[in-house]
Amino acid sequence: MSRSVLVTGGNRGIGLAVARRLSADGDRVAVTCRSGEPPSGLLAVNCDVLDATAVDEAFDKVEAEQGPVEVLVANAGITRDTLLIRMSEQDFTSVIDTNLTGTYRVVKRAARHLMRAQAGRVVIISSTAALSGVAGQVNYGASKAGLIGLARSLAREFAPRGVTVNVVAPGLTDTAMSTALADGQRERIVGQIPLGRMADPEEVAAAVRFLASTEASYITGAVVPVDGGMGMGH
């Protein structure tokens, strides 16, 4: 395999694990990098998914360096956790704008080539929060549930063109995002996970890798949980 891949938010955490996994398989992998140091050995393009022009420019750079994007992994995401009663409109809209509308921006830009090529893969990173709900994550849960609706509608639009669209829904994963949780909150969640631990980012990357592979050619519109059994398949 040597496909042109773009992973949003691929400078750290789950996105970086996905990028490294696909790169190790022989793909040409670019990551968007909004801040911090670009990771070594990968093409890093500056991009804030809140900005449609920046998204367009990032795709232009990737196309120039490694060819049009054939595999898109929409991973960039944020949390702004607090109970509804304390949640400002800014807390709500910033999470929706990054996680949901940001994904709309990148898949829309990727669609230009994918529709023409009549082949390709889109994998969107949602969360078990979309499926089970989490107190303190009204904004995040709404954005991640929205991604499932987006993916399934897109799967139908893209299916006649041979492009699959799938969702990976990780449970608690060992990254900066989960480190930001209070110790007690993290331990309480881990206590509810049948496998009794958080996921490693590489375990999420393995599911993304499969859905992005040729072996997954007959899977589209699926939501694949990587959650240690927390949702028992849901």
Which residues in this chain contact ligand NDP in the complex, by CB under 6 A? 8-9, 11-15, 32, 34-36, 47-50, 75-78, 98, 102, 125, 127, 170, 172-173, 175-178
CB 2 within 8 A of CB 25: no
Burial of 37 (0-12, 13-18, 19+ CB in 10 A): exposed
**Minimum Å distance from CB 161 to ligand NDP?**
26
Is the Cα dihedral 221, 227, 228, 230 positive or negative? negative
223: three-class secondary structure by DSSP: strand
Provide, rounded to whole angstroms, the least separation between the CB of residue 12 and ligand NDP: 5
Q: Which is nearer to ligand NDP, 34 or 80 (CB)?
A: 34
- Residue 3 C-beta: closest distance to ligand NDP, Å: 21
Indicate the residue among 69 and 172 with the shorter CB distance to ligand NDP: 172
Question: Residue 76 or residue 111: which is nearer to ligand NDP going by CB?
Answer: 76
Q: Between the CA of residue 230 and those of 90, 151, 169, 208, 227, what are the distances in Å? A: 31, 22, 11, 19, 6
- Distance of alpha carbon 147 from alpha carbon 143, whole angstroms: 6
- Give whichever of 160 and 184 is closer to ligand NDP, judged by the CB atom: 184
In the complex, what is the shortest distance from the CB of residue 176 to ligand NDP, in angstroms, rounded to a whole number? 4
Taking each continuous run of H as one helix and of E as one strand, the counts in the chain are 9, 7
Overall residue count recorded for the chain in this entry: 234
At closest approach, how far in Å is the CB of 124 from ligand NDP? 9
- In this structure, the number of other CB atoms found within 10 A of the CB of residue 128 comes to 24
Catalytic pick among 59, 92, 140, 158: 140
**Tokens coding 186:** 């993290």
Looking at beta carbons only, is 22 or 76 nearer to ligand NDP? 76
Number of CB atoms found within 10 A of residue 94's CB? 16
140 is catalytic: yes
Which residues are known to be catalytic? 140
